[in-house]
Each structure stands twice: as structure tokens, then as C-alpha cells.
Amino acid sequence: MRIAGTVRVVVAAAACGVLLTSCASGSDDSAKKGGARADHGKGPQAGAADARRIPDVGDRLQSKIPEESRQVVAVYGDGEDSAKSTVVLYTKSGPKDTTWEKARSWPAHNGKKGWTTDHRENDKRSPVGVFTLTDAGGVLADPGAKFPYTKSSSMQAPHYWPKTHWHDFDYVIAIDYNRAKGTPPNDPTRPQGQAKGGSIWLHMDHGSGTSGCVSLSKPAMEYLLRTLDPKQHPVVVMGDRANLEA
């Protein structure tokens, strides 16, 4: 039995190349680095009309947020074919609280070709949907994560990628899309098959689009790792604005 926050050291070098390539790619540096300034203000309660809902998320995805969830990472993509997005953390103050509050927000990137409701291996688009968050890891030591954290050099980005990408996987939070929960982020298991892709992560930003992951600044990743708590049943709600609002 694993205890949240315990560092797990694994060796998965054989599978590393395939997994990392599916998550981010060193082949596209066309976009300039965006600002990494976070919105540290508490902000208003989520949604002026109904604070019991995540803002700008329609009934289809809103209904998939588990009732017990008290932490939601919302990824608002600029457009269906855009690699730019904004990540907002919403929280509930207690188990009986029914309203969401905006805690932090950060600029981010997603798949270099945008978003899709039918993600496929190497389509360079991020999957739209609501996914649980259960496991974390990275090349660097555990910064104080509440998730089970796997420190492993097997997550190191290949050095034949541009230098700007070498630290992409210093910190990683696995998004539970087509993966086995309770395993390190780079576990190769694909319950829905290889064709449906996998290794969709929150990870560190290199200033442009990814191969399907969502990337944020190092301070943002450290904050999320120290804040997201399995006891709060965190999920990510992600997609372009049109699909989110549907």
C-alpha cells in the first residue's frame, strides 16, 4: 500500500522514449515563450450567476465532475486549433461547501494542434474531458507533493530535443486519461489500447505547444503539487472554450 507523499523510485528506461515522445515533442519551437505570471488573488467565487458551478463549463462536462471533488483544475483552451490556454484552480473550502472559489490562475500551453474529443496517438491534440488526478513524479526530488510521487531519471526529456525542452518533465502530474491509476506517470499501461494515446500530463512549460499535455511554469507546478490533495478528490476539466461550454 502506498502512502500519499512517499517518494517512489522506479526504473523504466526501456519504455521512457515512447512515453515521453507521446507527451511532448522537441520538434516545434515556433511559439515564443509566454509570460508565467500567476494570478495570486483569491478572486470572486466561481461564476457570478451560480457559484455552485465551474465557470464557462456546460452541463455535459459539469455533470462529470464527481460530487466529492473539492479541487478542480480547469484548463481553458483559447480555441480548438490553438496551443494556448489558461489554467485556473478552483476549490471548495470544506466538505459541506457547495460553492467554488478561484484560488490561482496561470498561462499555459496545450497540444500544438489544439484540442480533440477523440484523442489518438500522436495527433498532437489534447483530449477534451474531465479526468481524475492521482499520481505525480518527475526528474527532480519531491517538492512536498500530496500525491504519491515518483522520482526517476527515466522521465528525463531526451537531450536530442532542443535545450528549451530538457526540463519539461522535472515535475509531472499524470492526467488519468487512458492510464492505470496508482502507478508512476510513465507507466506504459494503456487500458483503452495504444491507438487512444496516453502519457497526458501536467508538466513544465517550454514556451510552445506540446504533443497533448498541458504545460505550466515551474512555480505553478510546484504550487499544484503542494496543493492538490487526494483527500479532496481533485480532477482536471480541460478543453477549448467551445467544447467546454457545450
Q: For residue 190, is pLDDT > 50? A: yes
Which pLDDT does position 43 carry in this prediction? 37
Q: Are 209 and 83 in contact (CB under 8 A)?
A: yes
Which pLDDT does position 18 carry in this prediction? 44
Centroid of chain to Cα 164: 19
Identify the three-state secondary structure at position 214: strand
What is the tens place of the pLDDT at every residue in 59-91? 999 999 999 999 999 999 999 999 999 999 999
Centroid of chain to Cα 65: 16
pTM of the model: 0.84
Higher pLDDT, 212 or 97: 212
Structural domains in the chain? 46-243 (2.40.440.10)
Listing DSSP states for 85-149 in one string gives EEEEEEE-SSTT----EEEEEEEEE-BTT-EESS--TT---EEPEEEEEEEEEESSPP-S-SS-E
Q: Are 194 and 15 in contact (CB under 8 A)?
A: no
The stretch 210-220 carries a mean pLDDT of 98
HSE-CB of 211 using CA atoms within 13 angstroms: 20
Which pLDDT does position 9 carry in this prediction? 42
Percent of the chain clearing pLDDT 70 (strictly above) = 80
d(CA 102, CA 39) in angstroms, rounded, equals 10
d(CA 150, CA 137) in angstroms, rounded, equals 4
